[in-house]
Amino acid sequence: MMETTQNGLKRSMKSRHLFMIALGGVLGTGFFNMSGYAIQTAGPLGSVLAYLIGGLIMYFVMLCLGELSVAMPTAGSFQEYSTRFIGPSHGFVVGWLYWLGWAATVALELVMIGGAMQRWFPDIHIVIWSILFGSVMFLVNAFSGRSFAEAEFWFASIKISAVVLFILIGGAAMFGFIDIKSASSAPLFSNFTKDGLFPTGIGSIFVTMLAVNFAFQGTELVGVAAGESKDPERVIPRAIRQTVWRTILFFGLAMTVLNAIVPFKQAGVLESPFVFALEQIGVPYAADIMNGVVLVALLSVANSGLYASSRMLYSLSGNKMAPKAFGKINASGVPFIALIVSFAVAALSFLTYFLPSDKVYQGLMNIAGMTAILSWIMICASQFFFRRKYLAQGGKIEDLKYRTPLYPFVPIFGFICCVAVFVSNWFDEATKIYVQYGVPAVLVMYLVYFLFMRKNGEEIKKQKADFMPIINIKRNEKA
């Protein structure tokens, strides 16, 4: 019989689902298409180092999320943790901005899905494909949390297989086992050295960190899905461990191979450096193959976006920061009204792509680019204050089923790194707009909270001051 949480959600996700949700989340269009920007901005070695540094930051964030999500597995994840351990105003801001960011992202993915399909079916309008695939993703999420997880498992499997094949084929070309059209001999690491190790300067590594961190964003979905996972104290740490080292391995190897084949001065002007690399190796129908992989990545992000946005509305409702109706669960364990509202808002922002209000659409997307790094900041801060409050209420470190190591260094270092990544966007004209839109959006949301939601927030703060009765700690074996 399927376990049900106190709030009606079904604990239907297995370890393989959580692992693929996290790993699949980082293998999105931000990696397949934006890697060219990272290569051109930071150079060959710089871009590889940028992804490794991004992976390290992700590792620290995931260590913090692990302790929180095992101790308190909840569908709201960092929105709930921010509300409890930092303050209701912070939970309100991160929850609503994260929801808005995902709703806008779903809209963008649907538009891009239509564009990808037009490559093969140019006579069918983008809107038709967007509506068709959008409806399918809605039905997948509406059926059950398990159906979302199963779809994401297969989407992620395809993306991972594609990356592994690229590493194998590209690696063979890199070491001369397969000929490259534009090279008379195996390139090996020549592209890394011919223009100098850091042709654009060492500082460019940090300038490109937003694009890199954008590629890693999605791993925090493990925390969102924790509230619907079976045996969270066992499967969440396992999913986090597997995700971190495999993500760093995949990204590091793929970027190394990519830089060995693609000259860095050409990378930024390519639609996708992966297509260029495959064409240089002589893989037939390279563009069509990559278009198919990108299509799967788009479907995966749209699927995850609907799940994340509906669960965030559900969490906000539970904390009296959104209408009560958003917290209602249907017989399948899905917050159906929250899902409908999230999909409707996504559809509305999708329409702005075709209307003169394109500035509104671009503004939403720029806010979306900022919300994930904001959620990482809140995760690190929440773990820091959770541990302090846990000890203050009489908790014992050895009773926690999963502990963030090297406390308080890990949450503090993770917090500083995430803030530094966000601030660094101001120094690059290509990413400066994220700060220009993101900071005002955060300030507006805080203003909304203090004008309209402060009373509800104070009630929630009092109700949730004592969290020990619900925390998932080791049981006394003698009891």
Q: Give 296-314 pLDDT, tens digit per residue.
A: 988 998 999 899 999 999 9
- Find all residues with CB under 8 Å of 127, minimum gap 6, and list them: 114, 354
In the structure encoding, which two tokens stand for residue 240, read together?
A: 């986090």
Q: Give 277-293 pLDDT, tens digit per residue.
A: 888 888 898 889 988 99
Q: Give 31-54 pLDDT, tens digit per residue.
A: 777 788 888 888 888 888 988 888
CA of 162: how far to CAs of 38, 277, 286, 309, in Å?
20, 14, 12, 28
CA dist 92 and 366 (Å) reads 20
Within 10 Å of residue 354's Cβ, how many Cβ atoms? 12
CA dist 415 and 374 (Å) reads 10
Q: What is the dihedral of CA 138, 144, 150, 155, to 10 degrees?
A: 10
Q: Give 64-80 pLDDT, tens digit per residue.
A: 999 999 998 887 788 99
Burial of 186 (0-12, 13-18, 19+ CB in 10 A): middle
Instruction: Look at residue 475 in the predicted model and tell me its pLDDT.
Output: 43
Nearest to 50 by CA among 421, 423, 380, 416: 421
Q: Tell me: pLDDT of 477 over 70.
A: no
Instruction: Look at residue 83 in the predicted model and tell me its pLDDT.
Output: 93
Burial of 385 (0-12, 13-18, 19+ CB in 10 A): middle
In the three-class reduction of DSSP (H, G, I as helix; E, B as strand; rest coil), residue 13 is classed as: strand
Q: Give 142-189 pLDDT, tens digit per residue.
A: 998 889 999 999 998 998 899 999 999 999 988 888 888 766 566 778
Q: Which of 25-39, 200-214, 223-237, 372-386 has the highest mean pLDDT?
A: 372-386
CA dist 252 and 155 (Å) reads 21
Mean pLDDT of 367-373: 77
Instruction: Look at residue 339 in the predicted model and tell me its pLDDT.
Output: 96
**Residue 4 parent element (H or E):** strand 3-4
| Angle formed at CA 294 by CA 137 and CA 47, multiple of 5 degrees | 130
Q: pLDDT category, 3, cuts 50, 70, 90?
A: low
| Angle formed at CA 23 by CA 206 and CA 365, multiple of 5 degrees | 55
Instruction: Look at residue 476 in the predicted model and tell me its pLDDT.
Output: 43
